[in-house]
C-alpha cells in the first residue's frame, strides 16, 4: 500500500483533473474556473494538472478552452468518444495502462507525467472551497482506499445522492414502478432498499465506505488505476463507474465518500441533449453490468431484471402513445422514444 504523505510537508502531491465535455461551453468555463480556484487554495501541498477531452462539441467549447485556459491540456476530438472513451484517452495520455478503443497503437502517445491521483469530473460541476485537497487527503489518510467521491448538491442547493449500493432487483423495480402512493414511500425510495446511504452519514465529517460513487466527481488513486486499468469502454456511457469500483473492490481496494468535499452538480446537461438515445444506452449498460458481474449477484437476478424492464417498458410505451395522441409530445419525439423502448426490450 502507498505511504501516507500528509505528515511530510515537503512532499507535494500531484493530481490530474480530467473533464470530458460535450456542448456545454458555459458550464465548462465555470467548471474549469472552479477547479483552478480550488487548486490555488492548496498549491503549497497539491500540484494540479487539468486535462480536457472535448467530444467534438459544436458550440465552440474547444476554442474557449484554448483561448481562456491556455494552461489546460486540451484534446479536441473529431468524434464523440463517450464518457468512457474520453476518460480512457486522458488516462492513457497520463501514462496509465489503458487500452484505447478509438485509436490505433502509435496514433496517441502518452505525454504527461503519471500523477498520484486522478479526478474524473463532469463539466456540469462546480468545485467548492478546498474540495480537491479534501478528496486527496481522504485517500492519503486511508491507504486501503482506491477511490473517493464527493458530496454532491444540485444547482439549487438540494442534496443529490452520489453514492449507492450495487443495484438490486428491488431498485430496478422501483425505477419503473415507484410506490409513491404508499405510506412512507418517501423514506422507502431514499433508503437502503433503494440503494441509498443514510442521510446522517452525509451530514457528518467522517469518510465512510460505499459500493460505488457517481463518475461526476470520482477521485482514484494513481496506483489503483495502474493496477486495475481504465474504465471498461464497452459501456460508452453509464455504469462504467459502478463497474470500475467493483473491479477495484475485487482487487482489494475500498471506495469511500468524503462528505466534507462539496461539489455542485447541475446534472445531465450533456446527456439530455440526446434524451432517448441516452435512455437506451442506460439500460444497455445496466444489462451489461449484470451479465459481466453475474458471479456477484444471485443467479435469478438478470432474468428477473429483464422481465421487470420489459414490463416497465410496455407501460412507458403506452404512456408515450397517450401523450402523442393528446398532443403533448411531437411525432419525432414519440418515434425516438418507441425506437429506444424497442431496443431495450430486445436486450
What are the Cα distances from residue 158, in Å, to 110, 151, 161, 265, 266? 40, 11, 10, 10, 11
Contact 317, 338 (CB under 8 A): yes
* pLDDT for res 109: 58
Closest CA to 310 of 273, 338, 342: 342
In this structure, are strands 163-164 and 13-21 parallel, antiparallel, or unpaired? unpaired
Q: Are residues 244 and 296 in the same domain?
A: no
Give the start-end residues of each E strand in 156-216. Answer: 159-160, 163-164, 208-210, 212-213
Q: Please give the tally of structural domains in the chain.
A: 2
Which one of 241, 266, 291 terminates a domain? 266
The answer to the question of residue 235 being in a domain is yes
Check which CATH number belongs to the domain holding 93 and give it: 3.90.550.10
Closest CA to 344 of 324, 320, 327: 320
Write out the DSSP string of 282-343. HHHHHHHHHHHTGGGS-TTHHHHHHHHHHHHHHHHHHHHHHHHHTTSS-HHHHHHHHHHHHH
| Contacts of residue 259, Cβ cutoff 8 Å, sequence gap at least 6 | 151, 201, 202, 203, 204, 205, 206, 207, 208
Give the start-end residues of each E strand in the chain. Answer: 13-21, 46-54, 73-76, 117-121, 125-127, 145-153, 159-160, 163-164, 208-210, 212-213, 217-221, 254-265
pTM over 0.85? The answer is yes
Q: Are residues 114 and 240 in the same domain?
A: yes
* pLDDT for res 200: 85
* pLDDT for res 278: 83
Backbone phi, then psi, for 233, in 5-degree steps?
-75, 0
Range of the domain at 324: 273-345
Contact 158, 272 (CB under 8 A): no
* pLDDT for res 191: 67
Q: Are residues 75 and 224 in the same domain?
A: yes
Q: Are residues 261 and 127 in the same domain?
A: yes
Q: Are residues 150 and 211 in the same domain?
A: yes
Residues of the chain with pLDDT under 70: 1-10, 102-110, 180-191, 268-274
Closest CA to 22 of 83, 103, 71: 83
* pLDDT for res 7: 52
Closest CA to 74 of 103, 52, 94, 49: 52
CA distance 57 to 40: 28
* pLDDT for res 101: 76
Q: Are residues 80 and 150 in the same domain?
A: yes
* pLDDT for res 47: 97
| Contacts of residue 90, Cβ cutoff 8 Å, sequence gap at least 6 | 16, 18, 20, 51, 53, 75
The answer to the question of residue 173 being in a domain is no
Contact 93, 51 (CB under 8 A): yes
CA distance 108 to 6: 35
Q: Are residues 46 and 147 in the same domain?
A: yes
* pLDDT for res 1: 43
* pLDDT for res 127: 98
Q: Are residues 82 and 150 in the same domain?
A: yes
Q: Are residues 258 and 293 in the same domain?
A: no
Amino acid at each position: 500500500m502507498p505511504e501516507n504523505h500528509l505528515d511530510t510537508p515537503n512532499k507535494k502531491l500531484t493530481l490530474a483533473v480530467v473533464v470530458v465535455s460535450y456542448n456545454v461551453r458555459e458550464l465548462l468555463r465555470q467548471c474549469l474556473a472552479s477547479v483552478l480556484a480550488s487548486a490555488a487554495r492548496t498549491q503549497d501541498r497539491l500540484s494540479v494538472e487539468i486535462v480536457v477531452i472535448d467530444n467534438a462539441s459544436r458550440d465552440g467549447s474547444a476554442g474557449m478552452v484554448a483561448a481562456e485556459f491556455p494552461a489546460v491540456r486540451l484534446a479536441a476530438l473529431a468524434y464523440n468518444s463517450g464518457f468512457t472513451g474520453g476518460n480512457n484517452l486522458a488516462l492513457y495520455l497520463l501514462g496509465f495502462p489503458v487500452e484505447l478503443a478509438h485509436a490505433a497503437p502509435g496514433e496517441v502517445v502518452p505525454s504527461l507525467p503519471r500523477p498520484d491521483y486522478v479526478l474524473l469530473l463532469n463539466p456540469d460541476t462546480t468545485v467548492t472551497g478546498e474540495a480537491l485537497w479534501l478528496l486527496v487527503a481522504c485517500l492519503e489518510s486511508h491507504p486501503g482506499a482506491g477511490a473517493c467521491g464527493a458530496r454532491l448538491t444540485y444547482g439549487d442547493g438540494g442534496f443529490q445522492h452520489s453514492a449507492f449500493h450495487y443495484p438490486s432487483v428491488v431498485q430496478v423495480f422501483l425505477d419503473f414502478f415507484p410506490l409513491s402512493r404508499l405510506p412512507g414511500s418517501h423514506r422507502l425510495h431514499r433508503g437502503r432498499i433503494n440503494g441509498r446511504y443514510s442521510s446522517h452519514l452525509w451530514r457528518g465529517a467522517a469518510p465512510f465506505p460505499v459500493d460505488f460513487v457517481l463518475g461526476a466527481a470520482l477521485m482514484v488513486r494513481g496506483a489503483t488505476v495502474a493496477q486495475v486499468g481504465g474504465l471498461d469502454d464497452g459501456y460508452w456511457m453509464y455504469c462504467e463507474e459502478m463497474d470500475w469500483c467493483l473491479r477495484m473492490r475485487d482487487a482489494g481496494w475500498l471506495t469511500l465518500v468524503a462528505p466534507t468535499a462539496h461539489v455542485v452538480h447541475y446534472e445531465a446537461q450533456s446527456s439530455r441533449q440526446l434524451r432517448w438515445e441516452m435512455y437506451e444506452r442506460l439500460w444497455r449498460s445496466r444489462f451489461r453490468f449484470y451479465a459481466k458481474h453475474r458471479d456477484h449477484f444471485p443467479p435469478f437476478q438478470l432474468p428477473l431484471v429483464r422481465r421487470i424492464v420489459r414490463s416497465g417498458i410496455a407501460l412507458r410505451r403506452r404512456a408515450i402513445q397517450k401523450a402523442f395522441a393528446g398532443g403533448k409530445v411531437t411525432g419525432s419525439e414519440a418515434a425516438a422514444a418507441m425506437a429506444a423502448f424497442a431496443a431495450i426490450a430486445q436486450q
